[in-house]
Every structure is written in C-alpha cells, then in structure tokens.
Amino acid sequence: MLAHLINGISLGSIYAIIALGYTMVYGIAKMLNFAHGDVIMVGGYVSFCSMMYLGLPAPVAILAAIFVCTVLGIVVERLAYKPLRTATSLAVLITAIGMSYFLQNAALLIWGANPKAFPNMFKDVEAIEIAGARVSPVAVVAIVANLIIMVALTLFTTRTKVGKAMRAVSEDKGAATLMGINVNFTISLTFAIGSGLAAIAGVLLCTAYPTLMPTTGSMPGIKAFTAAVFGGIGSIPGAMIGGILLGIIEILARAYISSELADAIVFGVLIVVLIFRPTGLLGKQIHEKV
Amino acid sequence: MSKSPEVKLVNVPSPNFVPEKDADKPLVLEAAHLGIDFGGLVAVDEFNIGIGATEICGLIGPNGAGKTTIFNLLTKVYEPTRGTIMLGGKDTHNMTPVQVNQMGIARTFQNIRLFDKLSVEENVKIGLHNHIGYHTLSGVFRLPSYWSEEKKSHVRALELLDIFGMADLANVTADSLPYGAQRRLEIVRALATGPKLLLLDEPAAGMNPSETEELMNNIRKIRDEFQIAVLLIEHDMNLVMGICESIVVLNFGRIIAKGTPSQIQGNPQVIEAYLGTHRG
C-alpha cells in the first residue's frame, strides 16, 4: 500500500511538473497550449540522443533537453501563438492542437515510429527502501524534483520583479502594459519556463516508463492538463495538488481496481470534481468585469 | 492671466495656455491635430494641446465626449489616425505603450484596474518594474544585486505609499482596500513608473467631499514634490476649478474651449455643452 502511495505521488509529481506548464501559460496568456505534451516528448528524445548517440553523461543530457525545449517553447510561441494574440481563443486552441500534431509528426520524421528504449539513468542505484516499501530511485527523484521546482517557482513569482510582473500580466495585460511591463517578454518567459519544466518531466517520465515514441507526450500531456484543471487552472499550488492527487488516484485504481479502467477512473474523478467545483480545487472564482 | 513683461510667450511653440512658472521650460507634451476614427466614426478630431512642465491641466466635457479616448491616444493604447504627439520633444509615432511609459507618461484608469490579487506594495513595485535594476537571472539565483535592489524597491514603494499615508496597508491585497484607497493606490502605482506627465482618469469618482479635498491637496503635493505635469479628467467641478491651471473642454471629440478656470466658467459654449441650449 505504502509503495503504491509513493509511486502514486511520484507519478503525480511528474504530472504536476507538466501541469505547471499548462497552468502558467493559461494564467498568463489565457490559452491552452495543447502542444505542451509534445514538448515532453521532444525533451525525451533530446536527452535520449545526447546519451545514446553523443555519449554525454545523464546530467548534461538533461541540461541539453532543458535548453532545447526552452528554445522550442519560445520559438513555438513566437511563430504560432504571438500572431494570434488578439484572435479568438478558439483560433488559438486549434493552432495549439495543430502545433501538437506538427511536433509529433516532425518527431516521426526525425526519429521514426519505432519505440526507443530509454536508458536507465539509475541502473547502478539500488531500489530505495522507505518504511519497508521498495521504491525505485526515479520515483524519489521525481518527488524531490517536484518539491524543489514548486518552492523555486513560488519564490520566483512572489519575490522577483519579473515574477511579480508575470502575476500582473496574468491579472490585467492592458494595465500592466501601461505600467511599463513588456507583456511579450513576460509571455515568452512563461513559455520558456513551462517548456524547460516539460523537458525535466520528459526525462523523468522516460526513465520511469522507458518507451520513447513520437506519441509519448500525448497521454501524460492530457493527464497533466486534467491535473491542472482539477487543481484549478491558473493556480501554481493547484497544479501541484491536482497532479499529485491524479497520480495517486491513477496508481491506486490500477493496483486495486483494474489497470484497464485506471484512466477512465481518473477522468471520471475529474468530471465529478468539476460538477461540484467548476473552477477546480483551488480555482479562482471568476467574476464578471462590469 | 497676468504676466510679468519679461516672460516671453513668443517662445512657446503653441497657442496653448502655459502657466507662467513653466513659460521658460519646454512643454512636456504637445499634441497637434490629433484625431482617431473608429470605422466611420470620428471619435476625436483636431485635438491640440500643450502641457507645461509642471502644469495641472483639466480635461472636461460631457459623457462620451472622447476624454478617455484622448488618454488612450496619449498612452498609445490606440494609434492615432491623424496628428502627432510630441513627448519631451520626441514624436511618439509607432511607439508602444511600454515605450511611452518609459518616456514618462503614466496613467490611472476610470474603472480601477489594480492588480487585485497582488498586495498593495506589489502593485507599487509593478510600477517600479523598470527602475529595479537587476537581471532576471540574478533574481533566479539570488545574487547580491537582487537583494540590494529588492531592498531599495521595498523602501521606495513604502515612500511612495506614504504620500497618501498608505504605508501601513502595504501587505494587504489590493482588492480588500476601500474604494477611495484603491483610487489612491492607482495614483501611487502610476507615480512609481517615474512619469513626467501623470494622466488621472476621474481620480475623484466615488469620493466624498472630504476625500476629494484631500485628493486635491495630494495632487498639488505630488506636482510640487515630483515637479511633474498632471492632466486630469474629472467631473467634479470643485476639483477641476480648484486645482487646474488650465482647462480644455471637449465635446463630440472636439475642443470647444480652452483657458483658465475663470475663462472656462464664463464660456457660453461650455455652459451650452453641459446644460444644452434653451430652445423656445
């Protein structure tokens, strides 16, 4: 039971890291970046190639993945979303879905359809025993990484001027602009942070579930989006809570109910939560501006 | 308007009223033939104004006259269809609101637009954003420059809040402030951006007479302390007549009168715009 719980928190931590990307971008650019899941996949491939083809050590491979994904995030925003800044949200949504398919198919062209076996970075590390439950090292790393990221992001958004500017932009772009805040830079930065985090999540995910293919990012992407909505989209602690709860529900459902039904149960819980709390667990009440 | 003989108004490049104290200084803002159309509707046309370096100027007119549109033009929320806006001698054509703000125009909003979920101090710090001199990366890694600059901005934010006696409210969220205090916070936030010209959009709206009285004193105090110009939209005539050195009256997007408060008060066209003509 304890092992399942820890595994659930670990999977949930990965979801939470991905969900941050969704929730921050939504909070600031007011758009759902459905290509976010595919950035995870790119992060996986970049670290895979760095390790297997270039022979780089794992930490360098992770940095390479973070770098590539950060740049990718900024470029995608500049090319695909920035021209639509004043367009209807539906147009942006369709573009994001298109970008998602574009990234998947680009990966298919570059790396082929065959699944790649992701190398285990922790093959020399013994399984860790916590109170009698044996837990894989990657599970522990995921939980720790998630905690560090949460603390760092919270400090960033509350204590630094750019973080404050982000919150200001998320509340009122127009007023922020008129106070001298560069909204485009702020949005780029948000995409950069979200995509960098997606790269970390990609490496963790591929280490925990070592099959890498062009569609690797879709399902975790959707789940993380669910987690973000579950916790209240736009809220950073919401993404954390939503992600972890989702991870626990999924692992427990898989262990005790049915592995086939696990995903159905996860999404079922989401539906129930949204019926009772339409803005998610920590979601802001939406008030109409008059 | 009595002027001493040595003041040469000839040097002033526009026929605007410029208070004596500013006569020898360059204008902070000069707009000429400014106009904007929305589709076929001419919202503002032939708007000319020159504002002295430390002048308090009022922009008045009936509802829908285009006053806020003027603010949106001056801050480049809208790009004007016609005309030029010179800010400190520089043409702001094709500039963004951010650039114009950095060049020295700051504003408040008719319908308060504070960052509700941020604290009072954080709202002011957003205004200080471009004056906090550390790089994003040094913020991420908490380098010494981060600490010293954050400390400085904290002190500065409290100083600014103190103008309105709001320093003790620094840590409450903006949306929990009473209405009048929110209006004051908007002024402080605008002031934090370091403007040469402060645009106030109905600063006294919803204030009671004693609050309005205090606001008038504070606007004068801000002007004197910071040596900046103020352009304000206001419906409260006591405020406008009480603190403005010049007044521009707008109706249907055009200037119908300009002058000192006493000139405006007796102007038949202004009275007509506000009260309508008496038709038999």
Q: Which domains, and CATH codes, for chain B?
A: 1-104+194-280 (3.40.50.300), 113-192 (no CATH)
Question: Across the interface, do A164 and B101 touch by the CB < 8 Å criterion?
Answer: no
- A169 shares contact with chain B (CB less than 8 Å): no
User: Contact, A93 vs A32, CB < 8 A?
Assistant: yes
Residue B280 pLDDT: 45
Task: Give which of B181, B152, B150 is closest to B165, Cα–Cα.
Answer: B181
- Please give the Cα distance from B106 to B163 (Å, whole number): 17
Bridging pattern class, strands A211-212 and B29-38: unpaired
Residue A276 pLDDT: 86
The residue segments making up the domain with residue A107 are 2-276
A111: CB partners within 8 A, 6+ apart: A45, A214
- How many angstroms separate the CA of residue B52 from the nearest CA in chain A? 22
Residue B278 pLDDT: 60
- Please give the Cα distance from A165 to A183 (Å, whole number): 9
Residue A176 pLDDT: 93
The SS3 of residue A128 is strand
pLDDT band at A233 (very low <50, low <70, confident <90, very high): confident
Find the range with the poorest average confidence among B145-149, B166-170, B231-235.
Answer: B145-149
- Please give the Cα distance from B133 to A273 (Å, whole number): 45
User: Contact, A113 vs A124, CB < 8 A?
Assistant: no
In a domain, A284, yes or no: no
Q: What is the pTM of this model?
A: 0.84
Residue B265 has pLDDT above 90, yes or no: no
In the numeric block, the tokens 């969900």 are attached to A19
Task: Give which of B112, B115, B45, B107 is closest to B74, Cα–Cα.
Answer: B107
A275: CB partners within 8 A, 6+ apart: none
Q: Enter the tokens of residue A111.
A: 């790396």
User: Contact, B52 vs B45, CB < 8 A?
Assistant: no
Residue B1 has pLDDT above 60, yes or no: no
Rounded percentage of chain B residues whose pLDDT exceeds 90 = 56
- B109 contacts on A by Cβ (under 8 Å): 175
Q: How many CB pairs under 8 A join A and B?
A: 82
Bridging pattern class, strands B82-87 and B90-91: antiparallel
CATH number at residue A26: 1.10.3470
Residue B13 pLDDT: 37
Give the tens place of pLDDT for each residue, B154-201: 999 999 999 888 999 999 999 999 988 999 999 999 999 999 999 999
In this structure, the dihedral spanned by the alpha carbons of residues B162, B168, B169 and B172, taken in order and rounded to 10 degrees, is 140
Residue B104 pLDDT: 92
- A181 contacts on B by Cβ (under 8 Å): 98, 126, 129
pLDDT band at A193 (very low <50, low <70, confident <90, very high): very high
Beta strands in B61-102 (DSSP E): 82-87, 90-91
Residue A57 has pLDDT above 60, yes or no: yes
- How many angstroms separate the CA of residue A48 from the nearest CA in chain B? 28
In a domain, A222, yes or no: yes
Give the tens place of pLDDT for each residue, B36-55: 999 888 999 999 999 989 99
In the numeric block, the tokens 């106009």 are attached to B35
- B118 contacts on A by Cβ (under 8 Å): 164, 167-168, 171
pLDDT band at A288 (very low <50, low <70, confident <90, very high): very low
* Interface subset of A 139-168, CB within 8 angstroms of B: 156, 159-165, 167-168
In a domain, A50, yes or no: yes
In a domain, A132, yes or no: yes
Q: Enter the tokens of residue A94.
A: 């369709």
Question: Across the interface, do B126 and A159 touch by the CB < 8 Å criterion?
Answer: no
Residue B133 pLDDT: 75
Residue B279 pLDDT: 57
Query: How many domains in chain A?
Result: 1
Nearest chain B alpha carbon to A287: B116
- A182 shares contact with chain B (CB less than 8 Å): yes
Orientation of helix A2-29 relative to helix A236-252, angle to 10° = 140
